Amino acid sequence: MIAKLSGRVAEKLAEILVIDVGGVGYGVYVPLEDLTTVTVSDPIKVYVYEHIRESSHDLYGFTKLGTKKLFELLLDVNGVGPKMALNVLGVGSADAVRRAIASGDTKLIQSATGVGKKVAERIVVELKDKVGLVSTADTDALFVSSAQAEQDEAVQGLLALGYALPDAVKALTNIDVQLPAEERIRAALKAVSYD
């Protein structure tokens, strides 16, 4: 299994990058976001998803691991194959796609080539709680990476008290991040008890 490729961009074709790794050129399908940010001869590292069928062996590459994980989540939705998942990622940045799924924006998802209304609705229903977004009461959605949560002592404190990650983040959303962790935890607990 190929998990990662590191090399140089040898060619840019329609939706494929040819990545030269030690003299071997790998044709890798990449999302539009990645395709537009690289130029020929740039060094590149991509996380790879292999799609092997009887008649083909396709590689899908992502410069960010989070984008690859979102791609894999999309593949778990019935009726979504690798090309369609890549098309969905092509409607905006990975974060924009996550926000669209979390907020139920089927119109944005439907704007992807080959995605109909039913598939867009299925993507929203099946992935809404899995995309790593937390809805806030009065603002847009807030993307939370596990790396940020691991570094936030207040989030970790609430996790230790039995909160789920989305609930811990939501509880801390309107609390001043400049306060010490203990005060943020106390304020979050107080705010939650008043809800």
pLDDT in tens, 51-91: 998 888 999 999 988 899 999 999 999 999 999 999 999 98
Burial class (CB in 10 A: 0-12, 13-18, 19+), 191: middle
Contacts of residue 3, defined as CB under 8 A and 6 or more positions apart, other chains included, come to 47, 48
| pLDDT at 139 (0 to 100) | 34
Distance between CA atoms of 61 and 68, rounded to whole angstroms?
8
* CA distances in angstroms from 181 to 79, 152, 158, 172, listed in the order given: 45, 8, 10, 10
- Between 33 and 49, the higher pLDDT residue: 49
What is the chain's length?
A: 195
Give the SS3 label for residue 111.
coil
| pLDDT at 132 (0 to 100) | 63
CATH of 4-62, one of 2.40.50.140, 3.40.50.10860, 3.40.50.920, 3.40.50.300: 2.40.50.140
Distance between CA atoms of 5 and 43, rounded to whole angstroms?
11
Token representation of residue 90: 């092509």
Token representation of residue 178: 């400049």
- Which amino acid, residue 61? G
Q: Where are the domains of the chain?
A: 4-62, 65-132, 144-194
Same fold, 4-62 and 65-132: no
DSSP secondary structure code for residue 173 in this structure: T
- Between 153 and 120, the higher pLDDT residue: 120
* CA distances in angstroms from 43 to 6, 93, 102, 132, 194, listed in the order given: 8, 21, 34, 30, 53
- Between 24 and 132, the higher pLDDT residue: 24
* CATH for the stretch 65-132: 1.10.150.20
Distance between CA atoms of 131 and 74, rounded to whole angstroms?
10
